[in-house]
């Protein structure tokens, strides 16, 4: 298949919307990462998403809406807590899990009785959704297992030839996927951390829980609240090893393990003491910048041919928790604590 490379011009947006109405797949920019979109009401189009990504069928997709009133037909209940979070954070990088109606194809949520819905703030995403008139099922537009795409070039690298079109809306501002929150119970529960932080949710809802799977591997045989969190994920070809410690401790450890193909992914301003080649992903105290750059840095590790990537561990609060969650999976939970 020849993949069309589109811009955000009105003509190109119309082309993208036409493709989506015809049941084809189009990669679209959002404020978090690029999404691989299809008409959520069309089961064949949704099945094609799983096929193009090489994604396990039991990993459910997020439905994207372009206007607030598109939510109510998709779900059977919006709790007061859910409404408060909607009022505070939509449109934006927050996905909410509701009990589902039958408005979208069953395979969107992999047989679950719930549905993930998000109202993105990115103007190009919203124009495409509204022009198409479809609720759009859209996972991140990467091959399953790879780092999520934050530029159109990342998408092309993974999916050129497999999808109808890619709409280039520039680099994504947030850089990690939306916060996923289950609002079917009384206390909102974070299944995947993102730019809308636990602290922000607690302020609005009064309380918040963070699912164990955010920071821990799933126990053998346990059922994942968010199936996407159970796979090794976001991983470059290099073996990623997280190093938890001060800049001095990290430099000492990395320098003792220098060798062929050994690289470091460290914080900006902490390269000097390292005697291996480095990539960086934002300053130690700037979790927003870390989120913006982390996936691009993991992809760059592949481009430079890194075999081992010693990665400085981010803090676990604020947006840092989201960065930590993604890096943990890229590292298949391999963390070395250097603290005394």
For ligand TXA, the closer CB: 190 or 297: 190
With CB under 5 A, what is the number of residues at the site for Mg ion? 1
Touching ligand TXA, residues 75-104 (CB under 6 A) = 95, 97
For residue 185, what are the CA distances in angstroms to 101, 118, 189? 17, 18, 8
Q: Per rule CB under 6 A, is residue 74 in the interface with ligand TXA? A: no
CA-CA distance, 160 to 79, in Å (whole number)?
Answer: 41
Q: Strand, coil or helix: what is 172?
A: coil
CB atoms within 10 A of CB 139: 23
Residue among 98, 37, 110 nearest 72 (CA): 98
CA-CA distance, 36 to 331, in Å (whole number)?
Answer: 25
CB of 30 to Mg ion, least distance (A): 12
CB nearest Mg ion: which residue?
140
Q: Per rule CB under 5 A, is residue 95 in the interface with Mg ion? A: no
Please say whether the beta carbons of 138 and 177 come within 8 A: no
Q: Looking at 138-200, which runs of residues are DSSP E strands?
A: 165-167, 179-182, 189-192
Q: Rg of the chain over CA atoms, in angstroms?
A: 20
List the single partner that 146 binds among Mg ion, ligand TXA, none, CB under 5 to 8 Å by kind.
none
Reported as type and span, the H/E element at residue 308 is strand 308-312
- Binding pattern for the stretch 111-150 against ligand TXA, x by CB under 6 A and - elsewhere: -x-xxx-x-------------------xxx----------
CB of 106 to ligand TXA, least distance (A): 12
Q: Would you say how long the chain is, in residues?
A: 340
Q: Per rule CB under 6 A, is residue 210 in the interface with ligand TXA? A: no
- Binding pattern for the stretch 112-151 against Mg ion, x by CB under 5 A and - elsewhere: ----------------------------x-----------
For ligand TXA, the closer CB: 216 or 275: 216
CA dihedral 120, 177, 156, 297 (to 10 degrees): 140
The residue ranges that bind ligand TXA (CB under 6 A) are: 30, 32-33, 35, 59-62, 95, 97, 109, 112, 114-116, 118, 138-140, 177-178, 180, 191-192, 226-229
The residue ranges that bind Mg ion (CB under 5 A) are: 140
């Amino acid at each position: 298949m020849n993949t069309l490379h589109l811009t955000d011009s009105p003509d190109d947006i119309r082309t993208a919307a036409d493709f989506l109405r015809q049941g084809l797949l189009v990669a679209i920019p959002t404020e978090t990462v690029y999404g691989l979109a299809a008409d959520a009401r069309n089961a064949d189009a949704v099945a094609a998403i799983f096929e193009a990504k090489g994604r396990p069928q039991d990993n459910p997709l997020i439905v994207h809406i372009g206007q607030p009133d598109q939510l109510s037909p998709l779900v059977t209940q919006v709790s007061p807590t859910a409404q408060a979070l909607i009022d505070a954070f939509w449109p934006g990088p927050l996905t909410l899990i509701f009990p589902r109606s039958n408005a979208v194809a069953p395979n969107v949520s992999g047989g679950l009785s719930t549905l993930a819905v998000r109202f993105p703030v990115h103007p190009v995403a919203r124009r495409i959704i509204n022009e198409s008139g479809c609720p759009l099922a859209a996972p991140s537009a990467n091959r399953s297992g790879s780092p999520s795409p934050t530029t159109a070039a990342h998408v092309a690298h993974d999916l050129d030839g497999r999808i109808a079109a890619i709409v280039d809306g520039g680099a994504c501002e947030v850089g990690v996927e939306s916060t996923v929150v289950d609002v079917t119970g009384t206390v909102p529960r974070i299944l995947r951390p993102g730019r809308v932080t636990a602290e922000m949710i607690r302020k609005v809802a009064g309380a918040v829980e963070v699912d164990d799977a955010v920071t821990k591997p799933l126990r053998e045989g346990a059922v994942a609240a968010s199936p996407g969190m159970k796979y090794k994920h976001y991983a470059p070809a290099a073996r990623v090893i997280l190093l938890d410690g001060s800049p001095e401790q990290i430099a000492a450890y990395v320098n003792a393990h220098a060798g062929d193909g050994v690289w470091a992914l460290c914080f900006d301003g902490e390269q000097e003491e390292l005697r291996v080649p480095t990539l960086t992903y934002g300053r130690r105290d700037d979790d927003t910048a870390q989120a913006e750059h982390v996936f691009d840095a993991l992809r760059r590790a592949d481009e430079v041919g890194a075999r081992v990537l010693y990665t400085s561990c981010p803090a676990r609060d604020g947006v840092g928790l989201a960065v930590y969650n993604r890096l943990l999976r890229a590292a298949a939970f391999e963390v070395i604590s250097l603290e005394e």
